[in-house]
Amino acid sequence: MAAYPGRIIFDHFAKTGGQAINAWLVGALGTACVTPNIISEHQRAIRELGGRYSIITGHISFDPGDRLDPRYRYMTVIREPIDRVLSWIFYLVHHVDPAGMSQALVHAARRFVDSDGAECAPELRDSVGNLVVEHFAGLGETVADTDASKLARAVEALRRYDIVGRYDRLGDFTARVAALIGIAPPGELPVTNVTRERPRAGAITPALRERIEALCPLDLALYRALENERDLRGNAPWASRAPRAGTAWEKYDRVARDRIEPGITLSLVSGPPGERAEAGERVEFVIDIVLARAVEHLVAGIHIHDGYGNWAFGTNTQLQGQQHLRPRRGRYRVTFSVVAALPIGRYTVGFGINDHRSEGVLPLLWYDEVCQFEVTPAPSEPFAGYSYLHPRVTAERIGAD
């Protein structure tokens, strides 16, 4: 038995079952083999995660001129565009706190629904307009600059994917993935991130349907083209193989570094409200430490890691000039106040407690992931990239032609 040694990128879109499939793969292969769902540029994901994980899953983007990496197998799931757009819009309307996502996007979705599709702000149009075709059209050495070339590029890109599944046939898709990897298919996918309040595609008004179709005509054309493709129907060569009843791989989870000294406990009192913070916002993490015995010199620290496992920040009471000499038995409260001057994304927060004795440091407690929080964009003018840099731009005429 061994951990799964292959290399797979599961490239998925919002509202196509990606989180449920990720949960299945993590459950089967372990947290050290399968990444959490990420949002990343393709080559960056390979650079930063490919060495540690066998399977990368998430919302992947391609830079112009990019190509598929021959060391990886690629797979994705395609959903009928009208159905996917409806699920996304009503997810924004009913299940998303505007404080945790772009307020403009959530409000745009609400206006779109209330107006029966008549009002469509640019923020919403950008999140649904020909999303799938534009995604795959980025693969290629030249720029696809017409609708026809983008559609052809997307069809060709999907032909190079190892598994292309349909959202309405996820059982077929997971059976093929299971056969490819060598694990048992799931009896039932976990229920995650479901849009529970939404109309069926066949029950919306003709006006709303017409306006959604106008947002994604290339995605509709791609879906119709793929319905005739062998992969989308589930007839790839390995689909005829019977999925294995057991597994050839041993589950491999990340090794926890948590350390606990008897008689010492730590509990989180509070973190950022809603586990969210705007970039540049000051946030607090409050912990309580209970000592069942006296220690010589108590030092409490915080460590924050990004979604790739990189150490974003760390400090402790000693570095901040706080002295806690010979604390007696009892409860102590430590407050870490930091500015979320971090790139947009999800972060984990851990804490460490040490006793700095004259003869050396005695570790008492160490937790890698006590809580997590998400850094969201701060209100700003429109911009590209992951961090707003408060730009000042001038343009002026400096001479004649």
Domain boundaries, the chain: 8-240, 259-376
Whether the CB-CB separation of 158 and 229 falls below 8 Å is answered with yes
Helix, strand or coil, per DSSP, at residue 329: coil
pLDDT at 98: 55
Examine the pLDDT at 276 and tell me if it is beyond 90: no
Q: Give percent of the chain above pLDDT 70.
A: 90
Q: What whole-number distance in Å separates Cα of residue 202 and Cα of residue 396?
A: 54
Q: 358-399, pLDDT tens digit by residue? A: 888 888 889 988 999 988 877 666 667 666 777 888 787 777
CA-to-CA dists, residue 182 to 175, 217, 253, angstroms: 10, 38, 18
Q: What whole-number distance in Å separates Cα of residue 243 and Cα of residue 111?
A: 46
Confidence of residue 237 (pLDDT cuts 50, 70, 90): very low
- CB atoms under 10 Å from CB of 203, counted, come to 9
Confidence of residue 243 (pLDDT cuts 50, 70, 90): very low
Helix, strand or coil, per DSSP, at residue 365: strand
Q: What whole-number distance in Å separates Cα of residue 27 and Cα of residue 33?
A: 10
Name the token pair of 318.
């000693």
**What average pLDDT does this structure show over 304-308?**
86
Residue 150 identity:
K
Q: 315-365, pLDDT tens digit by residue? A: 999 999 887 777 888 899 999 999 999 988 889 999 999 988 888 888 888
Q: What whole-number distance in Å separates Cα of residue 207 and Cα of residue 214?
A: 11
pLDDT at 247: 65
Q: Which residue has the higher pLDDT, 126 or 25?
A: 25
Name the token pair of 221.
């054309």
Whether the CB-CB separation of 105 and 92 falls below 8 Å is answered with yes
pLDDT at 353: 92
| C-beta contacts of 194-199 below 8 A and 24+ residues apart | 195/15, 195/87, 195/88, 195/90, 195/91, 195/94, 195/95, 196/94, 196/95, 197/90, 197/93, 197/94, 197/95, 198/86, 198/87, 198/89, 198/90, 198/91, 198/94, 199/86, 199/90
Whether the CB-CB separation of 130 and 218 falls below 8 Å is answered with yes
CB neighbour burial string for 102-134, b if at least 16 within 10 angstroms, e if fewer = beebbbbbbbbbeeebeebeebbeebbbbbbbb
Examine the pLDDT at 209 and tell me if it is beyond 50: yes
User: What CATH number does domain 259-376 carry, 2.60.40.10, 2.30.110.10, 2.70.50.60, 2.40.50.140?
Assistant: 2.70.50.60
**Facing residues of 352 across strands?**
301, 366
Q: 69-81, pLDDT tens digit by residue? A: 999 999 999 999 9
Name the token pair of 141.
């050495």
Q: Give percent of the chain above pLDDT 90.
A: 38
Examine the pLDDT at 304 and tell me if it is beyond 60: yes
Taking the CA of residue 236 as centre, how many other CA atoms within 13 Å lie in the half-sphere pointing to its CB?
Answer: 23
Q: 18-60, pLDDT tens digit by residue? A: 999 999 999 999 989 999 888 889 998 999 899 889 999 999 9
Query: What CATH number has the domain spanning 8-240?
Result: 3.40.50.300
For β-strands 276-278 and 360-376, DSSP reports them as parallel
Q: For the purposes of burial, counting CB atoms within 10 Å of the CB of 273, is it exposed (0-12), middle (13-18) or buried (19 or more)?
A: exposed
pLDDT at 241: 42
Q: What whole-number distance in Å separates Cα of residue 381 and Cα of residue 103?
A: 13
Among 91-105, 152-166, 312-326, where is mean pLDDT lowest?
Answer: 91-105
Strands (DSSP E) contained in 247-323 are: 259-260, 264-270, 276-278, 282-291, 298-306, 311-316
